[in-house]
Chain A
């Protein structure tokens, strides 16, 4: 992402072509190993009751009511601090708002969720405001004016996520305060209105950031089990616990497709096309974003339909059942794509956050920070990028394999997996090629 307002000025070097070839070869190798040598019975998605629970002190702390309020208040304080720069700060490159929103919050949500689970559910200031308002009025926050229809699923979050990636990647003047402010105002009004109508369950289905954090957070190494105990777990079990729901497939595809568009839009060939066409750039950008997401979706639908037919699964189930396996692929690509942006631009944003009004103040004591390289050498970054993409592919392949064993009868299980593996190799190789070319 490059936000023509001073955010994300430096971008990564394209990865060497040799790295693309090695990554692609590894992806193929992994897929063949998966096809022939992995387990023969589905084993992921359980609660893993034998897993070690976290120490008793941690359990006690996490079960205390104060624990929840600590994070709710932290979320409110951070949001209020963010609003100082957004509402009262000058609209110039030294304002931390764009960096805080796009880099610290949006990109930072991925590592936070990977480590600690669905963190935004705990921090979400809108959820807390809704809760406080309900407490004040003596109402149950879970109850809205009417129940959330089950068919709604994740479609609202899907629309919200698309609105966000459009803002991040296409919207004109997207790093300026009026644009960020208007988007956030619309988001806050719609989300709170949804919560008033449908109760706090709306946040689980309609808040794109909660849903995003929840998806990524399924890969976290610890989680609260069904019996309330916080225990370590296999990340794959967490991811496999994602059950199909309306809109979920599209949600996952928007996540992967938008990141791919981010890379593509940086390629010189795309820049030339946009600048030399008579159509205004935001229109071309919107069309490009929609087309890339549509292509990723079409590839997904085709592969899962073929897999369902060849594997003799119950018709119409494969696409939803396999959606969880795309999450690690998307996360791998997101980490590869935004890793240095987060490290370098994150430092700059924290320095700027110390003086949100640009008055020469140093509220956080970080104003004097100079950006440290933190080991981001070109060769190291390229290695990390290919490594996380291949890891994403491995995890996706394992998840798809495990689910295929549950979906397909044994005699057709291998055949049914072939389209899924081809799809993942395609996603992985396209991701690598985008890191090479764009």
Chain B
């Protein structure tokens, strides 16, 4: 059980910058998600925490101790690999007991510990089977067993559900989260699936192009994106960006988007130039009376809601509206935006402009 502090961590492979100076803190007992598209440096970050890669520079503190240059065996961190990496020449029992054997634990204690872990994971009946013939879920459980058996300070998980069937993944995600809640161990979990991250994480770090874009709770990241990348990456459909050129005074609570005045959270930062008006699909309302006009291009029926694609002066956007509301293709409608949820972005840098809404949001 431990707190992990990452300070200015950097990793370079030759000319390639895998992770640029990143800093964030993982609190004791947190289920911490490292989220980002493939190649963004999230796995490299995880491997540096575990000791499988040495950082080019920067520090990693585990419970206050600087460990960035130590071999993995001296870090007391467990790692669950995407492909499980169960030792193929050993049976389930030996796989799980392997980390204990390396510590020189007496045989009877090892047996007891393995039995206990098998009980937690519900794999008592497969302990003596070779790992080769196991199903994906059972392999996953054995890999988890091998990780939890020695009660490490923290768990690293590299897309542990990535190799499972979609159907089974959800079940395993619940199991994993339940296991974490029961053990309360600090867990760092890498995924490229934003849904998985939102569903399971206590806190999320969003990475892109070797940089930490944002760091916070799932709600913060969803409601108050710090950059356009985060706003676009999280949520399905993702946040809409109405492109416009305009001027925003400090303290203003209104902005003119293509000559229509739209309310926004009170600005804390004056800005002039290319901006994007960021609004989530569920915060758009179709209303005939509204000034902001758009043409309905298509509708997608999703049961309780429907997704309506609209053409506006600022580009195509999507709105999520109740399915009983009628929207006909080709019609022109008016749009209302839920003002308190709007984020304005500087289109040049992709950064969110400071406002009443996103004050105090942690930025990478």
Tell me, yes or no, whether A binds B. no
Please list the residues of chain B having a beta carbon within 8 angstroms of any beta carbon in chain A.
none
